[in-house]
Structure 1
Amino acid sequence: MSELQRKWAKAKLASMAEAIEPEVDGETGSLPELPEFPDDDSSSASSASSTGTIIPSPSRNLFARPQGVPGGRSLEQIPWTAYFERELFLKPKDCNSNVTYHAYLTSPVGKGPLFVMHHGAGSSGLSFAVVGSEIRKRLPTAGILSVDARGHGSTTASDGADLDLKLSTLSGDLFQVIQLARAEMHWPELPPIVLVGHSLGGAVVTDLAKSGRLGASLLGYAVLDVVEGSAMDALSSMRSYLSTRPSRFASLRDGIDWHLRSRTIRNAVSARTSVPALLVRESNEKDEGESAGRSTGSRSSSGGGGNAARPWRWRTNLAATQPFWEDWFVGLSKKFLEAKGGKLLLLAGTDRLDTELTIGQMQGKYALQVFPEAGHFIHEDLPEKAAITLVDFYRRNDRGALVLPPKVSELVAQGKKV
């Protein structure tokens, strides 16, 4: 290589090095930080970006984080506002009613469908926050109405009505919420509805579908990880399970962490969204009462002394719901197969199928999707895959997409030979 060629190459390399030199912050003289991403080993870890768009930012970080969803290994709560337009507090006009229903809503657009979600026992409407967001990414006209059942979330009842958890009561509540939401939002008529229920919620949406009260508005219903046979078998071990889980947590972060470490929920973003609604801080009155019952020489770590000392307990006392467990699931398979409308069953394993549903599946009476990599909370563990399945289910049952042939009278009026 000649001296001239060496000088040219040296100058070229120097200019390239300047072009790729990273931007330095003018105020601190430091390099910008790279974004952090959720440390989630599940296949649904990508849902960290499901509530916002990663946007290049030349003035600061290389990438901006999705709004409302902190990245990294954070166990911080994600607020409901990251997923829904509004929350509704719905009071029936009946003066004898002692229930104020609470629900989260994102309204449908145009003639888009309304996915009506009902959670399982001990959970809340925020269980469907992430999967609802994923549904709207794939079907932007869709609306999401996710309810808190009585005795759960922010739905309140007086005179012990929150303990009335009979299946007929919960089914009536769901129908009531749909009608009240229509009145609140001034919809001229109900949009096309797809009912979606997880566990206990699956029994509730099936009962409402079987009742026929939604009429032609109901396109179909989807049941998530519950069938009559396996549900009835599991009831005998329910009390044992409840006795093994913690009764209190020192903080919301601890509650979220427990759900992830125990793999009750396998998606960090879902846990950070839904778990805080399952817990409530213990009141001073309760703490003082518990302390009074102990010897004066000992002091409970969960007793009063300010907010920092007051732990978080479960909002819903699942053990108190035992009298209703059989009522929820007896006859579920028969109702699921007989109710009108499209039918979808999402399971975490084929071993959950009972005999009646196995025969029904062989006869093609309903659609079945199995997610063996998910736990019981399919829609929280795998929100993207669950959303894809639900949107596809809606499209297969969308009557508006049907193109009917013209009537004979119309062809004759147009002068065509028939």
Structure 2
Amino acid sequence: MSPKPHEVQHVTIHGHRRAFVKVGTGPALLLLHGLGCSHSTWAPVIDLLARRYTVIAPDLLGHGQSDKPRADYSLGGFANGMRDLLTVLGIEEVTVVGHSFGGGVAMQFAYQYPERTERLVLVASGGLGPEVTPVIRAVTTPGFHQVMGVLTLPGIRHAGKQGMRLMSALPSRHARDLGEMAEIYDSFKDPAARHAIRHVVRGVVDWKGQVVTMADRAYLTEEMPMLVVWGRDDSVIPVRHAGRAGELAPRSRVEVIPNAGHFPHKDHPERFAKLLHDFIRTNQAATYDRERVRALLAHGRSEPAPVATVTDITSA
């Protein structure tokens, strides 16, 4: 059964209309979706999480029901937008959960606003290595907008979506993510969405792959609890990037979920919600210490850190 749609609210900030879902009560969770997606990518887990938390799931600018202006689509711009949205909603501190491109936004938010970030959760996140599916690299090529304009004409788009959905049912790990990809493909029918996505991708990816990395600032996570979740069968960003996250942030907790692709929160929503709750329950919120951060920035990691534990969750 498909999860019921959630009420979408809107607020205008800096002249741009932003869409978001806000449900539940308790400590705040900010759920950030990936490239070409919207808040609906979190639909399978929103109600599960709202039993204990205040869940805020926005449509990032240029995505979903939010405006798609000619604007700043950098990671810093998105982090600023989330800061402003939370301020308007009267929420001061959050656990930030970012999927794919949203993971990059989550890391940027934590870097820019550590005093407002209690914990950091990365789900099949960008920013941990150069490798990424050629489909995303193709967005940066000349002519993408025009070619996609043809590929999203009504008849072609319908056939393409149906074909991808049918293939997603095949018993192959390479086909697992095609159902969600079909929805992203459908969103490209909007020229404004195509322009926005192209600007977003060009800021973080070139023809060689991802160009933005957390490697040079990962030591700052010493002061912040971090959970990394990956699907073992991810066909968009390789699962080995989960291990890379453990190397960059040795105090992090890394969980690899079998029988899951690039959207582990959709493949196994109850398991994902339990992982997230266990992480929050067992890790106190970070306390911002300006002098400690100043020392880290000035001197880097102060002592050898333990090696992160990577857990490959069984299907049992």
Q: TM > 0.5 between the two?
A: yes
Other-structure match for 2:165: 260
How big is the shift at 1:358? 4.4
How big is the shift at 1:389? 0.8
Which 4+ stretches in 1 moved above 6 angstroms? 241-245, 251-256
How big is the shift at 1:155? 0.9
How big is the shift at 1:119? 0.7
Other-structure match for 2:310: none
Q: Which runs of structure 2 are paired with 1:9-88 in the superposition (5 Å)?
A: 48=1, 69=2, 80-81=5-6, 86-88=7-9
Q: Distance in 1 between matches of 2:242 and 2:273?
A: 25
Whether 2:192 is the aligned partner of 1:338: answer no
1:105 pairs with one of 22, 25, 33: 22
Q: 1:251 to 1:236 in 2, by over 3 A?
A: closer
Q: 1:251 to 1:80 in 2, by over 3 A?
A: farther
Other-structure match for 1:247: 152
Give the superposed CA RMSD.
Answer: 3.8
Any conservation in 2 of the 1:278–1:316 contact (CA below 8 Å)?
no
How big is the shift at 1:89? 1.1
Whether 2:77 is the aligned partner of 1:169: answer yes
Deviations 1:20-73 (A, max 9, x none): xxxxxxxxxxxxxxxxxxxxxxxxxxxx3xxxxxxxxxxxxxxxxxxxx5xxxx
Gaps of 5+ in 2: 169-173, 233-237, 287-316
Any conservation in 2 of the 1:247–1:314 contact (CA below 8 Å)?
no
Q: 1:251 to 1:125 in 2, by over 3 A?
A: farther
Q: 1:219 to 1:104 in 2, by over 3 A?
A: same
Q: 1:355 to 1:373 in 2, by over 3 A?
A: closer
Q: What is the TM-score normalised by the length of structure 1?
A: 0.53
Any conservation in 1 of the 2:37–2:184 contact (CA below 8 Å)?
no
1:91 pairs with one of 6, 9, 12: 12
Q: Distance in 1 between matches of 2:205 and 2:199?
A: 14
In the alignment of these two chains, the number of paired residues is: 263
How big is the shift at 1:365? 1.3
Any conservation in 1 of the 2:32–2:106 contact (CA below 8 Å)?
yes
Q: What is the TM-score normalised by the length of structure 2?
A: 0.69
Any idea what SS the aligned residue of 1:389 has? helix
Other-structure match for 1:224: 123
Any conservation in 2 of the 1:152–1:315 contact (CA below 8 Å)?
no
How big is the shift at 1:175? 1.1
Other-structure match for 1:347: 230
Other-structure match for 1:120: 34
Q: 1:251 to 1:174 in 2, by over 3 A?
A: farther
How big is the shift at 1:392? 0.9
Deviations 1:203-261 (A, max 9, x none): 101111112x252x53201011125354x222655345887995355599878755533
Q: Distance in 2 between matches of 1:207 and 1:267?
A: 26
Any conservation in 2 of the 1:119–1:127 contact (CA below 8 Å)?
yes
Q: Distance in 1 between matches of 2:228 and 2:29?
A: 15
Any idea what SS the aligned residue of 1:316 has? helix
1:325 pairs with one of 201, 204, 209: 204
Deviations 1:346-399 (A, max 9, x none): 1123742278534346xx410000013111112122211111111111111245
Whether 2:282 is the aligned partner of 1:371: answer no
Q: Distance in 2 between matches of 1:227 and 1:322?
A: 11
Any idea what SS the aligned residue of 2:255 has? strand
Any idea what SS the aligned residue of 1:228 has? coil
Whether 2:289 is the aligned partner of 1:391: answer no
Using the aligned pairs only, state the percent identity.
18
Q: Distance in 2 between matches of 1:354 and 1:266?
A: 19
Q: 1:129 to 1:314 in 2, by over 3 A?
A: farther
Matched AA of 1:193: V
Q: Distance in 1 between matches of 2:191 and 2:277?
A: 33
Q: Distance in 1 between matches of 2:186 and 2:27?
A: 28
Q: Which runs of structure 2 are paired with 1:146-165 in the superposition (5 Å)?
A: 146-158=57-69, 160-161=70-71, 164-165=72-73
Q: Distance in 1 between matches of 2:162 and 2:219?
A: 39
Larger radius of gyration: 1
Other-structure match for 1:141: 52
